[in-house]
Structure 1
């Protein structure tokens, strides 16, 4: 009998999703499957629930939520034999989109039943894993303001974007990678997958299976150029700006010579990391996940 555990974020997306045992058993019969449902109640609760499910010898653990919930569950499964499943019910669902997992719950459950398992790369920033992307600067500020809002809609991102344009930037930040140095960047975005969500992408060529991080660096720009950058992103044309540089690498080091902490976003969740140095790398084929054919 296969043990399947569902870790559900009940306020993800619209917050109106129903994952009852009766509903799930219409897909997973009691003869072949043992189904367990757990609901997270606060940020990082899904981590302890997942560890609990690991101890209970679950075969498959399903993250039901957005990229933040998926990050919490998947972080516990890196280099583990337990398989990750995803039911995307968040606002952006960028990772699920890359994995070609439907946002229709019934279709996502069918994908889990089909059990096409692939191994994907995992990003690592110091002791924090990321599966879709991470960043410092402008995007980290947008996520911070987004989380402070009670709404979880695309318009909320737009409002957070404009508010972030008025946030004072750190003028003593240095980006160091081999010979690359940059003071006071507008943003540094490091991606493992090719979509942020809402069909928006800063790194359209990124892949979960190429063993590389896709890195986008935007040097210091004013508000008007920042607005132009945002407009170009909608059409995946941000590279036409001379302030935008992109490259691929397995490692990246970011140092802050002024402060001893970084405001970052990790898979769309805001974090304050108390260190003057960020060491970012890629772990190849470190996670088993159920997906459609990649």
Structure 2
């Protein structure tokens, strides 16, 4: 497949209370230089990243990058785990942190410094992530969501 070695980048402009949108021109320059064959798309509404992941995997992408924070990470992880095209273990995923909390990257020691982050990605160091599955009911409808860091209901 032609896309399997290229990155599919999902950008959440709303991440970090809009910080991602403000910083995006600089981030885009860095990422397009480091990953010249990447495809870039933008999430536009809640849960849009789930759809974007499914489309990417269906198109043959096996490397997915998200630009955002913990909320973006949650959506992309759910997209990877919910798609039915390939086993999730065949997908490499990395988060470029632009959020307010960034708890997930702190937990895994993922650098927030751009140069250190790029070195990590280019080194190809990966790990498998444990996930949880939460079943909840909303308006009488049963729903399932995966979580990779913490889970809570409001």
If the length of structure 1 is used for normalisation, what is the TM-score? 0.42
2:9 and 2:39 in contact (8 A); partners too? yes
**Aligned-residue offset at 1:25:** 3.2
Shift of 1:64: 1.2
Matched, 1:46 2:49: yes
Please tell me whether residue 36 in structure 1 is matched to residue 39 in structure 2: yes
Aligned pairs, number: 132
Tell me which of 109, 131, 142 is aligned to 1:122.
131
Q: Aligned pair 1:10/2:16, yes or no?
A: no
1:25 paired to 2:36 = no
Secondary structure at 1:23 match in 2: helix
Q: CA contact under 8 A between 1:4 and 1:36: conserved in structure 2?
A: yes
Offset from partner CA, 1:187-240 (integer Å, 9 cap, x none): xxxxxxxxxxxxxxxxxxxxxxxxxxxxxxxxxxxxxxxxxxxxxxxxxxxxxx
Choose 1 or 2 for highest CA Rg.
Answer: 1
> Gaps spanning 5+ residues in structure 1: where?
136-263, 266-294
**Offset at residue 41 of structure 1 (A):** 1.2
Tell me whether 48-57 or 105-114 shows the greater mean CA deviation.
105-114
- The list of structure 1 runs, each at least 4 consecutive aligned residues, that deviate by more than 6 angstroms after superposition, is none
CA–CA separation in structure 1 for the residues paired with 2:47 and 2:112: 23
Q: Which residue of 2 aligns with 1:72?
A: 75
Report Cα offsets for 1:158-185 as digits up to 9, x if no partner: xxxxxxxxxxxxxxxxxxxxxxxxxxxx
CA contact (8 A) 2:51 2:79 kept: no
Q: Secondary structure at the match of 1:51?
A: helix
- Aligned partner of residue 92 in structure 1, secondary structure: coil
Q: Which has the higher helix share?
A: 2
**Can you give the 5+ residue segments of structure 2 that lack an aligned partner in the other structure?**
82-86, 136-143
Question: Is 1:89 the counterpart of 2:98 in the alignment?
Answer: yes
Q: State whether residues 4 and 62 of structure 1, in contact with CA within 8 Å, keep that contact through their aligned partners in structure 2.
A: yes
When the two structures are superposed, what TM-score results if normalisation uses the length of structure 2?
Answer: 0.77
1:196-207 to structure 2, matched below 5 A, reads none
Structure 1 position 63 matched with structure 2 position 70: no
In 2, distance between residues paired with 1:110 and 1:51? 28
Deviation at 1:26, TM superposition (A): 2.2
* 1:1-294 correspondence runs (5 A): 2-13=5-16, 14-15=19-20, 16-18=22-24, 19-20=27-28, 22-28=29-35, 30=36, 34-78=37-81, 79-80=87-88, 81-126=90-135, 127-135=144-152, 264=153
Please give the alpha-carbon distance, in whole angstroms, between the structure 1 residues aligned to 2:145 and 2:104: 17
Q: Contact 2:50 / 2:80 at 8 angstroms: preserved in 1?
A: no
